[in-house]
Structure 1
């Protein structure tokens, strides 16, 4: 008896499943998977899952036994023995196939190959769940271009500009994106088939001081599609950055999301003014304000082709669009604008001199770390302090530290010359100035 080198067993069978609308299916043979790439048999036939499983098992079973052979010598000539005959060997189990015979000087040599034993029971298999294509009308592309607050992981000199591309149903398979430059359109690539979660405020969102978590605050938004859903999170999830929603120029986070029907969702448990956008939270937002979930479905755009300017526009063309869809850039310059300083303080000396101070913040620093100083991010630390209207102040000072001192004669001179007015401070960044922080009314 001899064994030849074992051949690779066919581990699976690919076929067309009649129970899955004739889609391709795969059934694997029983037994332990071998290391390495499996051998797949492609059978251009239609059958059910159980029949394909039986064929896969039979094919693998034959492959396991076909490499066992025997050279049997006999001195008798039997006319019933010819190639293809099935025989048995004394003191050996199973059946053997006569492959060939040869007449030698010492007898007749028979080449026998062991036949695979039959499988006792048929295996029942599941065809799986069919995935028929959606029979939907290809919808129009919904497009928005946004700039978001800085992220601490990104280059502080780069603008974070994204294309928000979505549609009403999943028959939409993506769109080509372009930057509009005059009468020309520059290719920006494709959006991919993942739809962004985009909508508008269904009801006005009232102003907020954006200082603490507001468990009872609510916002109602209307999404562009029925099959897009929002998820809930916890306070720990908010701290980790979950459920960030850009509403106009404000970033909010929400804990709970409840569907109201007709594409409307009620968001509750709000954390307002995130990422240094509390000045926008203080103004509130009217109905129909753009709302975008900030997740990985957004398409990042190159600021060299899509600059952070109010005149910037992008375009998208999908299979269901009869013409290009245009969108202006929302919040240009937001990602490179320093956040407003916070915590204004005033100390009055016995001689009526006043000392003003404040706390600096930095772009992209969403968390307050107590153990370390907030990184500067900008090229240098610089502040502009003004007396009077922020657009056209009567007097300005420039400081490199977060403090300003005014003596009583200086304060009296300001009042006599310009009257009572606001004293405010802005941080001067590398690319822009922050919103103003009110220090005092003098």
Structure 2
């Protein structure tokens, strides 16, 4: 059953703007625009994904990293796997949901993080096995088919950008919808502060200002305009019934401080006031979104020399480089110091054309002044002026600091290795098992879903997931098989690993005795004491122990698959006993696979049969041999290996020189005979589930 997560798809920005900015238009310009602001966007608003009713939806400009708002989701979908004999049932969960990103159209999306983990790379590659659909917010965008199939009737959210996840696996996120943040590219380049203001409020008619790499407009229109003016280092001024973004640039107007026409004007015609330097913060710190930090928060600080204490911290919810943010902090600090001075001048009738917000010079005096307030009484105009700090040298040493960025590495396709081999422990389970190890051609590969089929792909059975990424590759060259009883000091095995960053290592005799460097090459188990890097992913393995756990009968050959066996990378697939003798298809589907990767394995009983007996020799007129077992390979107690089967039984096929043959059975590791000279003997141990491969000899 699909459930709707309630949310608002509007904000104060969608309402009327006249009242919100009316306080900015008038005779007295609010001189605090470069300082305190109200009800504007905040630095933390884009970091946390919400699903609350009434949440403001940002209008995204440039490139920003936003969390968005969940506007629809399904209940968790449960999937079960495993549960066969010898293994427990595994439960996995997934969910489908939609996240609203921007209240205006966007171009595309870039990277996506889930709980801080990168799940979509800069190249657009998904690092999870899920479906993803982006609706960029066009006025003709259709209804999302997945939401429509779950809800029946749903809006198309035209003019708004949102994305839809389908069956996102939740195992890595605590079986809950993770906190998503998305790199949203609304425009292909940086956007001027004035252009953003014009898109937010129709009353804005002019002004460009500083180009911002990214900006997300939320809250009231007045709050947004205040933030934009602060970012641009400017202020708003009435212009033709609207607002213009004014900057300390261009030719100033000239006023004359001659005190004329003072009649009828209350108060002094001229005045100059300077506030104590202690009223100015000792330092200003600007918090911002830093593109070099994956658009996470950064802080840049500018300080002055002199008396006073205190530090003012300004939130600038825009994407700025470290250098731009530090330059802004220095400019704001310089302007705060300059604004200590207030000067009043009186003009004649012609001064009535000087509006608040204009930049002027006073006669031939040096410096530029901003008209903070203009009042007219009688035939005189009184101007209250604030000095402008002018351009400030960009402080050196701005740095984004160390960045612990989520690695963006390709997944590649799955490299799958599967074989039926003896158990790697003393577990004598009575069902055949396939041993599976996998990795990918890309360093970002993590896991893949496993399936198997015994009817040539007509039906498939879920087998859970692969283990941790293993070391996998292929055998390129191998020497002839040496005895399995001793170290092979002359032979070698050359393998090519799936990636150049995969590594092998040496192991001493004590480590080998503990099971180190155990690998499978098709059906043979091999240990190696020395691993020599040859380059280009190729390795030469020497000081070999061949045919481990009784696999000497299936020696490795060039072209066989290779996999290093470790506890965390190995997965086993338990299969019904009735499938012995059948070919099994094993498929793996990872996030980077366009189609499942398959291997075929003949299930011949290697995982459930005892190893072939050893040391067959004549004893008088008969034969004797040594029993081997599926268990007790470590030989820790120095005694006989455990039987490992329900009973001890052997079958001998005796073929005489004339071609006649006789089959006999015995319950002891001996046959009293008689056995004629030149007889060909094939000896098998009878196992609980399958017989061993034959030990053959001419006696």
TM-score between the two structures when normalised by the length of structure 2: 0.41
> Does residue 325 of structure 2 align to residue 325 of structure 1?
no
Q: Measure, in 2, the Cα distance between the counterparts of 1:438 and 1:186.
A: 39
CA drift of 1:334 comes to 0.8
1:32-431 matches, cutoff 5 A:
130-136=404-410, 138-182=411-455, 183-191=458-466, 194-281=468-555, 285-295=556-566, 296-304=568-576, 307-329=579-601, 332-348=604-620, 354-369=621-636, 371-388=638-655, 394-406=661-673, 410-411=674-675, 420-431=678-689
CA distance in 1, matches of 2:672, 2:297: 79
Distance 1:303 1:331, change over 3 A: closer
How far apart, in 2, do the equivalents of 1:376 and 1:355 lie? 23
Cα pair distance change 1:393/1:341, threshold 3 Å:
farther
Larger relative contact order (CA 8 Å, sep ≥ 6): 1
Report the CA distance between 1:308 and its aligned residue. Answer: 4.9
Taking a change above 3 Å as real, the CA distance of residues 241 and 211 of structure 1, as seen in their structure-2 partners, is same
Tell me the distance in 1 between the aligned counterparts of 2:577 and 2:596: 18
Tell me if the contact between 1:244 and 1:251 (Cα under 8 Å) persists in the aligned partners: yes
Deviation for aligned residue 1:146? 1.6
Q: Which of 1 and 2 has greater Rg?
A: 2
Q: Deviations over 1:188-230 (max 9, x none)?
A: 22336x3222111111332212221123332110111111111
Q: Distance in 2 between matches of 1:288 and 1:244?
A: 19
State how far apart, in whole Å, the 1-side matches of 2:514 and 2:441 are: 30
Deviation string for 1:12-51 (max 9, x for gaps)? xxx999597147699xxxxxxxxxxxxxxxx998999xxx
**Counterpart Cα distance in 1 of 2:297 and 2:692:** 60
CA shift at 1:384, angstroms?
A: 0.8
Evaluate the alpha carbon distance shift between residue 310 and residue 127 of structure 1 in structure 2; reply closer, same or farther with a 3 A threshold: farther
Whole-Å separation in 2 of the counterparts to 1:17 and 1:269: 56
Offset from partner CA, 1:381-404 (integer Å, 9 cap, x none): 001112129xx9710111001111
Q: Is the 8 A contact 1:152 1:363 kept in 2?
A: no
CA contact (8 A) 2:480 2:491 kept: no
Tell me, yes or no, if the aligned pair for 1:151 and 1:365 is still in contact at 8 Å. Answer: no
Whole-angstrom CA distance in 2 between matches of 1:171 and 1:305 = 37
Kindly state the Cα deviation for residue 330 of structure 1 after the two structures are TM-superposed: 5.2
Q: Is the 8 A contact 1:174 1:191 kept in 2?
A: yes
CA RMSD of aligned residues (A): 3.4
Ranges in structure 2 where 5+ consecutive residues have no aligned partner: 1-286, 299-314, 323-399
2 CA distance for matches of 1:272 and 1:22? 50
Q: Is the 8 A contact 1:179 1:305 kept in 2?
A: no
- C-alpha displacement of 1:436: 2.2
Distance 1:245 1:260, change over 3 A: same
Q: Secondary structure at the match of 1:169?
A: coil
Match of 1:269, SS? strand
Q: What whole-Å deviation, never above 9, does each CA across 1:320-351 have from its counterpart, x for those lacking one?
A: 22222221125641111111111223233xxx
TM-score, with normalisation over the residues of structure 1? 0.63
Take 1:279 and 1:326, find their aligned partners in 2: how far apart are those partners?
A: 25
Cα distance change on mapping 1:365 and 1:307 into 2, 3 Å: farther
Give the distance between the partners of 1:362 and 1:20, measured in 2 at CA. 61
Contact 2:419 2:523 in 1 (8 A): no
Contact 2:293 2:403 in 1 (8 A): no
Separation in 2, partners of 1:203, 1:405: 44
TM-superposed CA distance for 1:371, in Å, is 3.9
Contact residue 426 and residue 632 of structure 2 kept, 8 A: no
Looking at structure 1, the residues matched to 507 and 637 of structure 2 have their Cα atoms a distance apart, in angstroms, of: 25
Change (3 A) 1:184 1:360: same
Partner SS state of residue 238, structure 1:
helix
The answer on whether the counterparts of 2:584 and 2:603 sit within 8 Å (CA) in structure 1 is no
